[in-house]
């Protein structure tokens, strides 16, 4: 059992070298060791640009808390609105893009297959 307080979380950009990050994320389960999943709070600011397409082992679940988010999954755009969720094989090429006129926030859970 672990409790991770908001004040103890670290907020990081998707890529530290970006001047305008695609998204910011906070680990919701660090510093738990031997995790069987990783959970993040992802924030997509108004000025954010699309993320670089990427892939990784396992599966991913995205739940949109606020705003609109587009996921490009294997070349196909899927738009998610507030309270929508998407589950997919994350070994397929995917990227994220904020849509609409406001910022977006989502919970992202990643787990190995």
Smallest Cα–Cα separation from 76: which of 97, 104, 56, 106? 97
> Mean pLDDT, 10 residues at a time, over the chain (113 residues)?
81 66 83 86 91 92 97 95 97 95 95 79
pTM for the full predicted model: 0.87
**Domains of the chain listed by start with CATH number:** 36-111 (2.60.120.10)
End-to-end CA distance of the chain: 23
Give the position of tokens 């589950």. Answer: 87
CB environment 16-37: b (16+ within 10 A), e (fewer): eeeeebbbbbbbbebeeeeeee
Smallest Cα–Cα separation from 96: which of 23, 13, 18? 23
């Amino acid at each position: 059992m672990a409790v991770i307080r908001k004040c103890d979380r670290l907020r990081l950009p998707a890529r530290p070298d970006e001047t305008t990050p695609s998204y910011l994320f906070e680990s919701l389960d660090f510093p738990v060791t031997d995790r069987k999943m990783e959970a993040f709070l992802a924030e997509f600011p108004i000025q954010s640009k699309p993320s670089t397409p990427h892939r990784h082992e396992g599966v991913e679940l995205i739940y949109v808390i606020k705003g609109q988010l587009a996921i490009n999954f294997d070349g196909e755009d899927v738009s998610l609105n507030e309270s929508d969720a998407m589950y997919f094989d994350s070994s397929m090429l995917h990227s994220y893009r904020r849509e609409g006129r406001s910022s977006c926030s989502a919970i992202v859970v990643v787990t190995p297959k």
